[in-house]
Amino acid sequence: MTSAVERHGAFTFKGNPVTLLGPEIKVGDTAPNFTVLANDLTPVTLDDSKGTVRVISVVPSLDTGVCDAQTRRFNEEAAKLDGVTILTISVDLPFAQSRWCGAAGIDKVQTLSDHRDLSFGLAYGVAIKELRLLSRAVFVVDANDKVVYAEYVPVVGDHPNYEAAIEAAKAAK
């Protein structure tokens, strides 16, 4: 796993600084395209939801407490946000994501797997070099593929700013 851009110490995992691979995406950037896998193993790209506002919630693993809570929170918010697509991306296998969604009653958020080639993680600068996981982050992309909100959560156990992300999504509609 290599990339032209390595951001040493950009994220802390269990008290240890780790290296994020890929560029830091900023507000105003054109959102990079990516290819991840849906729960049925079909490829999904950013272009598949073109023309809608997208909230992209990034988690290390759905099977952990904060990631579980983050995904549930965005699932609740999705029910209130017409015209907004919410994607949750992790490197969990699609089968595990599907099982977790069924057990958790998640039906408004689309869970997607970046396990195959870290296409999303490397494009958005959230791939953890040392662990082959994704760091916690939230991006809001408008209908014209412009990033209108970007939050890289610096510590694995911290929650993102849900309110700021939801407000950015509402403002982008």
Which residues does the annotation mark as catalytic?
67
CA distance 95 to 93: 5
Positive or negative: CA dihedral 159, 164, 167, 171: negative
Smallest CA-to-CA distance from 125 within 136, 110, 115 is with 136
* 3-class secondary structure, 81: coil
* 3-class secondary structure, 38: coil
**Unique residue bearing structure tokens 């994220």:** 11
Q: CB within 8 A of 48, min separation 6: which ones? A: none
